[in-house]
Amino acid sequence: MTIGIIGGGVWGSALAKLFSDQKVLIYTRDKNVMNSINEHHFNPKLKYAVFNDNVQATDNLEKIVKNNLIFVALPSQNIREVLEKSCFNNLKADIIIASKGIEISSSLFLSELVESLVKPKSLSILSGPCFSDEVAKDLPTAATFASSNPQIFKKISMMLTGKKFRIYYSEDVIGCQIGGALKNIYAIAAGISDGLNLGENARSALITRSFVEISRFAMFFKSKKETIFGLSGLGDLMLTCNSLKSRNTNFGIKIANIKHKNFEKELDKNAITEGYYTTKAAIKIASENDIEMPILESVFNILYNGFDIEDEINKLMSRPLTIENIN
């Protein structure tokens, strides 16, 4: 069996390394990446990942859709343009979404987006605190695997036997996506806090109240409490907000002290800062459904409305006193 991976970035390549006991075919539009993988057995975007002969790359999507098991590891806003291609019309594969985010144009979770474009045999989510470089180095990692089909979970678990990558099963497909998407927003906020040298107390409070907002959002969508307190929720939030490996945290640090308000030009062109885009999708959902998320609102105001960062911090600190809860 050959595993297809759609996405030749760092995460797609880390997954390829993880599953390289099997035949793996990576789809990438970057011919330099494709040639590097095929000729030299590594992706220049990802350190520590030298592939064995089982891993190959292609720029031909038709070769990917012939496989029975496909991982989607694309930036969330690029998924539609790839999966709407005609070669996916007769797809007969189990799809595992390893991307994190919410589509801006439709406000769809990625599982909803994929199901609106293709008809997979089954659809699963892989999400959790997983930095690509550590997965590629086979360092201990755990994640949530959400699916309505436990047989796929068992199949993937068997492939991971002997690896230092542990997955936990969940049926909460939507809940598993919420933490992975929203944590990137709050990592930007944590980065801003660090960039302004607000201190450890401030970051601890910020992360805690960010978790409250994620929980409110998840409760609206009837997610399970166990999911939000698990690896794909609290676990991913803690990792992303507390590490300088996080692109989103670093983006927050970078914008904390720059004078201009056009933050889009500060985005790394070689790596997607998902939180920047997910902020726009999440604020729309929260506003339409009256979900109270003041930190999200402040991040949105800073990124998209040009509001002053100090003013937004003061606004958060001067909110009316209330009982500590997640309702």
Q: If you write DSSP's letter for every residue of 15-74 in order, what string do you get?
A: HHHHTTTSEEEEE-S-HHHHHHHHHHSB-TTSTT-B--TTEEEES-HHHHTTSSEEEE-S
Residue 153 structure tokens: 């979970």
Bridge pairing between strands 141-147 and 122-127: antiparallel
Determine the Cα–Cα distance for residues 290 and 301; give it in Å rounded to an integer.
17
Please name the fold of domain 2-171: Rossmann fold (3.40.50)
Note the pLDDT of residue 314: 82
Sign of the torsion formed by the C-alpha atoms of 297, 301, 303 and 309 = negative
Q: Kindly report the backbone phi and psi dihedral angles of residue 301, in degrees, each rounded to the nearest multiple of 5, phi listed first.
A: -60, -35
Portions of the chain given CATH number 3.40.50.720: 2-171
Asked if 178 and 154 count as a contact pair (C-beta separation under 8 A), the reply is: no
Q: Which residue type sits at 69? A: L
Portions of the chain given CATH number 1.10.1040.10: 174-317
Q: Kindly report the backbone phi and psi dihedral angles of residue 287, in degrees, each rounded to the nearest multiple of 5, phi listed first.
A: -65, -45
Catalytic residue among 155, 183, 269, 315: 183
User: At which residue do the structure tokens 């690509």 appear?
Assistant: 132
Note the pLDDT of residue 321: 47
Alpha carbon of residue 53 to chain centroid: 28
Q: Kindly report the backbone phi and psi dihedral angles of residue 147, in degrees, each rounded to the nearest multiple of 5, phi listed first.
A: -165, 155
Q: Domain 174-317: which CATH class?
A: mainly alpha
Determine the Cα–Cα distance for residues 231 and 327; give it in Å rounded to an integer.
22
Determine the Cα–Cα distance for residues 17 and 71; give it in Å rounded to an integer.
13
Q: Is 163 a catalytic residue?
A: no
Asked if 252 and 190 count as a contact pair (C-beta separation under 8 A), the reply is: yes
Pick out the chain residues at pLDDT < 70. 269-270, 319-327
What pTM did the predictor assign?
0.94
Determine the Cα–Cα distance for residues 120 and 130; give it in Å rounded to an integer.
25
Asked if 48 and 136 count as a contact pair (C-beta separation under 8 A), the reply is: yes
